[in-house]
Structure 1
Amino acid sequence: MKLNPPDYFMTLLIISIITNYALPTIKIVYYPYNLIGIILITLGIYLNLDPHFKYKKLKNPIEPTEKPRTLITNGAFRISRNPMYLGMISILLGTAIIYGNLISFAFPIILYIMIRTITIPVEEGILTKEFGKKYEEYKKKVRRWI
């Protein structure tokens, strides 16, 4: 089974945008408070780009089911074992806050559940197999999310 969290993310982002304009909404966040979403989107972009460039530099595969070459523990990986997933959720949450409608808040929750139950168990199993004690020590020092 191919696990592709960016596909989950993009699908949910597109659905979020469409539902914001196509369905009646219940507004729960209003201007200027909805501008907080810009901060979360910016943070989410950083949390995706920093690891992406580290993966490329170290020639590590980004696909969760492929064998990693290196255990990356610096940059965004110092604060989260899953910074790219955290970034995707942050972007969806930021989008929900900007739109301010109730239904948009379902999408970051759905993505969290999908990643937490489908992707992370497989990925952590691979990392444990490849890096053993080194990965276990990293898990003790760095939380899964934040």
Structure 2
Amino acid sequence: MKALELKIPPLVLVALFALVMWLLAQLVPPLALPAVWGLVLACIFAGAGVAVALSGVLAFRRANTTVDPRVPQQTSSLVARGIYRYSRNPMYLGFLLLLAALACYLMSAAALLLLPLFVLYMNRFQIAPEERHLLHKFGTKYQAYTHQVRRWL
């Protein structure tokens, strides 16, 4: 399974999950809620997702470090300011919120069930390898950061 580590770009993974969510929504009847609730929740989750993910990207840009998660060896600094005081992975959290927005828009319980799978995949194949690299590169400074800030939220 190590072969999957850092191989699929997170944006591609989000697109794949979104496609599967859409397909599931076509096969499973929608939730029995007023459509306006799905739309309102989708807007809230999408707005939060975009804001959180962009905050993460901007913090990386300000620190002049790479935003490409497939090459953690190009990391030039440990970013622990801004949104990174609350989440070690705000970009991934933003992606999760965007997928939640899609599930709400689709009014699909089946699509919602894919969200934990996204988190599990990201934890195992994206975040864990990144964390190993950051621990190796930044040592006790990164270890202290992990004790202060949670992985997702």
- Both proteins in one fold, TM over 0.5: yes
Query: Offset at 1:55?
Result: 2.0
Unaligned runs of 5+ in 2: none
Find the aligned partners of 2:104 and 2:124 in 1 and give their Cα distance: 25
| 1:67-82 correspondence to structure 2 within 5 Å | 67=73, 68-82=75-89
| Segments ≥4 residues shifted beyond 4 Å | none
3-state SS of the aligned residue for 1:37? helix
1:66 aligns with 2:72: yes
3-state SS of the aligned residue for 1:144? coil
Instruction: Name the residue aligned to 2:62.
Output: 57
Find the aligned partners of 1:24 and 1:80 in 2 and give their Cα distance: 34
Residues 47-78 of structure 1: per-residue CA shift (max 9 Å, x gap):
11111122233331222232210111112111
Residues 8-33 of structure 1: per-residue CA shift (max 9 Å, x gap):
1111113323443x424242543333
Instruction: Report the identity percentage.
Output: 23
Unaligned runs of 5+ in 1: none
Match of 2:113 among 102, 106, 117: 106
Relative distance call for 1:29 and 1:62 in structure 2 (3 A) is farther
Instruction: Name the residue aligned to 1:115.
Output: 122
Larger CA deviation: 135-144 vs 54-63: 54-63
3-state SS of the aligned residue for 2:67? coil
Return the TM-score normalized by structure 1.
Answer: 0.88
Find the aligned partners of 2:80 and 2:93 in 1 and give their Cα distance: 15
Return the TM-score normalized by structure 2.
Answer: 0.84
| 1:1-146 correspondence to structure 2 within 5 Å | 2-20=7-25, 22-34=26-38, 35-64=40-69, 65-67=71-73, 68-146=75-153
Contact 1:81 1:145 in 2 (8 A): yes
Find the aligned partners of 1:95 and 1:29 in 2 and give their Cα distance: 15
